[in-house]
Structures are given as structure tokens and as C-alpha cells.
Amino acid sequence: MKTSIHIENKLISKPSRLGFKYHIKTFGCQMNEHDSEKIAGIFNSDGMSKSEDIDQADILFVNTCTIRENADDKLYGTLGHLKKWKEQSSDRRLIVGGCAAQKDKELVRDRAPWVDVVIGTHNTNDVINLLNQSEDWGPITKIVEETLDIETEILPVRESGFSAFVTIQIGCNNSCTFCIVPSVRGVEISRRPSDIINEIKNLSNEGVKEITLLGQNVNSYGRDLMIDNKRSPYFTQLLYKIHEIDGIERIRFTSPHPKDFKEETLIAVSDLPKIANQIHIPLQSGSDKILSSMHRGYNQKKYLSKIDMIKNIIPDVSLSSDVIVGFPGEDDADFDETMKVVDYAEFDLIYMFKFSPRPGTVAADYSDKFVEKHFIDTRFMRLKEEQIKISQNRYNRFVGSTQQMLVEKPSKKDPNVLTGRIEGGHIVHLESTQNIIGQLIDVKVYDATPFFLKATL
Ligand code: SF4
């Protein structure tokens, strides 16, 4: 199938796969979810339409992740299953993109030779050309090592009409020893503020009410920007600019790095009513020894001082965090330090991970210090049980109060319930059958679990 579409040059002349259906499987973080929205936009430009049912699809894009434990095993397991899917029709095409493709291009090709296109994180805009080339010449792999242009004129296809991700920065300049991001996503590159503002204005015109600003390290946004010979704006100034955009009613951001959190950013969160009073502040470990081995750039004391600063400036803040259990060299005393911080900080939510070595990371070479699985499992359970108690306590504070909720979708389990989130990011199950999806409305919270709130109108 030949086509004259050159996405990278923004010359979209005519759709060439009119009537084809595509399906996208996304693993990993919000950055990947947003990339998948952009890939959907590219496929739509080529005349295809999205199918939720993989069996109806002609083209399947697997957007991979390598960050978390078992991600590789999961990927190759998935690709093994997809061999059968592919063999059911000679017209089907399978594409693998995302971080695993960027990092392990040869491995993907070797372990799943039935994949038609292996494409890197920096060149997804090229996907249609590569698809065409694979149809003419057979399986193809293309990975560019550097980001050439982070602006794109492709319109992402969003799952929701009123909530959208906006990338403000890609890459990361840190070197956490457990993390593969710097090697697969490259150094930090901030988008130009005018492009971000224009994108958000357009989203607002389309009816979007809530945006989530995305970056690997959002609060170092702008460090690489020079405008009129000045370094500007930094993240806080960007927040003020975005806050002025009419129609946008709620602004979130993720992920910030504790060491780069500035007081001025917290003052902005506190002062600007549209910025959600929700802060994600990844802890990873509470032990100074482990934090140093992770190259996190802070110790327990500094981390706790950030927690105090956040709570002083935003008293009603909802905090969330990431914790890795069983990092190489962690002993019971180190883990006790993590528990100490968890008890002190009282996070509303923790994303917990058991350490597993990621090939290509520094920590993968710490094999002489790997922690035995049963220790990791025991500590993980301890953390989970403690956090459930803390979350229950934190969620209880909303019972009896009125909260503003963005109604997102009907519950999958109960047709009489709608789900959405309040300002702090907590999930709400709302008893209602009214047509209020997409609206920001006041709800009365009448019950709380450690995982969600229950409310009525
Ligand atoms: S700050 Fe650390 S964990 Fe986060 S993306 Fe950068 S290297 Fe990875």
C-alpha cells in the first residue's frame, strides 16, 4: 500500500487506510498514555478508526514500558500471544513502540520476529511511513537516538473530551540508578511556552476543563529555554500563565522531583484556585544509605523538610508518593526509615513497587546486594497494610463535606454510579443516573474507603 502522507513534514495529503481499524495497547505511565493519544491522532489522519476490540483491528500498536518490575516479561508474554492474533490474517500489522522498543530494539526483533515495525520513542511521527515500508519490504526497525522536534501538529485522540494531558517537557537530566528514562527518553527538553499556551487554549475551545501537565521532572521546566536572551519562564511562571486561560478550570501536574521543588511553586499552587491542591512527591526510600545509592539527590532530612514546607503552604494538600521496596542493599533498618517517613508524611496514596533490576540501569549491576524475595514480599506487605490504614484515615476527612467533582464516566460495575475525581485526585463513586458527565459539580461525600469516596449529588 503506497501513500503520499509524510507526517514528519506535516504534509497530510489524503488518507490511505480508509476503513482500516486500529487498536492501541498502552503499558506504563501517563507519558505513554499521552503518546498513545498522539499515535491515535496519526492513525486517524491516515483514514483509520479506533477499535476497542483487538479482534476487529487490522493494525495493532503496542506502546511499551520498561520502567517497572516485570515490564519486560509482560511485554514478551504479550507479544507471544499476539503472534496468534497476527497469524489470523495476512493483512494484520503489528507495531511495537515506546521505551522497550527504544531500549531493546534488537531484543524485540529477535524474540518476536513477527512484529512488522519496531519504532522508537523519538520517531513515532514516522509510524505511517514505516508501516508502508514494512508492507513493501518486510519487517522494519527504526530507532532514532535523539529527539529532533518535540512539537507536533498531530491532534491527539483523547479518551475524554474534558480532561487532557499536555506535555511540557520530555527527557530527564537526573541519573537515578534504578531508572531507564534518561537513556530511553534523553536529556530534558522543555517545550516553548507559547506552544504550550496555544495548545491549552485550543483544548479549552474544544471544551476541555481539566489539564494535566506532563514531564519526567516538571519542576525543572524551562532550565533549557532561552527566550530573548533570558532563561524564562520557569515552571512557576508557566503555571501563572496557564492559570489565565479561560475555560480551563482545573490544572494538575506530574511528576515533580523532590530536590527541585521550590517554595514559589507551592505558593502558586496555594494562590491559584485552578491549580489542584494535590502534590505528588516521590520518596522512593526513607533511608539515607539507600537514597544515596539511588542517586536521588536528597536525604531523609531534606525530604521531610519539603513535606513540612508543602504542608505549611498548602494546609489542605493531598500528597501522593512512590516507594520502591527492596532496593539492593536495603536491610530491615533501612526499611524502618522508609516506614518512618510514610508515617510522618501521611500520604493519601502511595504507588508501591518491589525492586526488580532493569537491564541497562546502574542498579542492575548491584547483584551482590540484591535483597531476597521473601524479605521484599514481607516489607511490601507491611508497607501496604500501613498505608491502607493511613489512606482510610486521610479519606475519612472528606466524609460529611461537600467537594467539587469532575464527573468522568459511568462506573463499569454499576449503571447507577458515575465516577470522577475531586480536586485532591481522589476517586469518587457518585450515585446518579443524570447526564452530567464532563461537569464540575458539588457532591456530598457520605462514606470513604482507603481507595475511593462515595457521594451523592
Ligand atoms: S528523576 Fe530519576 S526516576 Fe525520575 S525520570 Fe529522572 S532518572 Fe528517572
pLDDT in tens, 176-221: 999 988 887 788 989 989 999 999 999 999 999 999 999 989 999 9
pLDDT of residue 2: 36
Burial 261-294, CB ≥16 within 10 A → b, else e: bbeebbebbbeeebbbbbbbbbbbbbbbbbbebb
Cβ 199 vs Cβ 150: under 8 Å? no
Please state which architecture CATH assigns to domain 158-276.
Answer: 2-Layer Sandwich (3.30)
Residue of 31, 66, 67, 174 to test ligand 1 pocket, by largest number of atoms within 8 Å of CB: 174
Q: Does domain 402-456 have CATH number 2.40.50.140?
A: yes
Instruction: Tell whether ligand 1 has an atom less than 6 A from the beta carbon of residue 220.
Output: no
Q: What pTM does this model have?
A: 0.76
Ligand 1 nearest atom to the CA of residue 182, by list position? 7
Residues in CB range of 306: below 8 A, 6 or more apart: 258, 261, 281, 298
Residue of 31, 175, 181, 322 to test ligand 1 pocket, by largest number of atoms within 8 Å of CB: 181
Min mean pLDDT across 71-75, 181-185, 232-236, 363-367 is at: 71-75
Q: Does domain 7-142 have CATH number 3.40.50.12160?
A: yes
Residues in CB range of 272: below 8 A, 6 or more apart: 239, 240, 243, 251
Please state which architecture CATH assigns to domain 284-396.
Answer: 2-Layer Sandwich (3.30)
Burial 363-377, CB ≥16 within 10 A → b, else e: bbebeeebbeeeebe
Whole-number Å distance, alpha carbon 282 to ligand 1 midpoint, is 10
pLDDT of residue 145: 59
Structural domain boundaries in the chain: 7-142, 158-276, 284-396, 402-456
pLDDT higher than threshold 80 for residue 231: no
Please compute the mean of the pLDDT values over residues 399-403 and round it to a whole number.
97
Residue with CA nearest ligand 1 atom 4 = 216
Tell me, yes or no, if the two domains 158-276 and 284-396 fold the same way.
yes
Band of pLDDT at residue 32, cut at 50, 70 and 90: confident
Instruction: Tell whether ligand 1 has an atom less than 6 A from the beta carbon of residue 179.
Output: yes
pLDDT of residue 155: 61
Distance CA 438, CA 441 (A): 9
Residues in CB range of 375: below 8 A, 6 or more apart: 326, 332
Ligand 1 nearest atom to the CA of residue 185, by list position? 5
